[in-house]
Amino acid sequence: VRLGRQGGQLGSEALRLWTDYLFENLDLHRIGLATWSLNPRMIRVAEKLGFQYEGRERELIQWRERWHDRLLFSMLRSEWEARRADSGRG
């Protein structure tokens, strides 16, 4: 799914809504996500929303004659709950 750049916040809002939906409706302890080192916007979105960097799989894919890493992030339910309480949405 490509979300585009309308206002620069659409991707952030979509991931926030999806994260909220998963934690509110499923008995999950942790949500993980992966993105590529060539996608700095997604990296910023994950960090902005409170996902914690866990590591990288180095030079996993080659695209346009360059090697790129897969970056791993996660959020725990307790971190999500704390962020919601801090933002007044809890």
pLDDT at position 87, please?
A: 81
CA 35, CA 40: separation in Å to the nearest integer? 9
Q: Is the pLDDT of residue 90 over 70?
A: no
pLDDT tens column, 13-23: 999 999 999 99
Q: Is the pLDDT of residue 9 over 90?
A: no
Q: What is the mean pLDDT of residues 41-62?
A: 97
Q: Is the pTM of this model over 0.95?
A: no
pLDDT digits (tens, 9 = 90+) for 51-61: 999 999 999 99
Gap between the Cα atoms of 4 and 50, Å rounded: 22
CA 20/CA 16 separation, integer angstroms: 6
* Beta-bridge partner residues of 61: 68
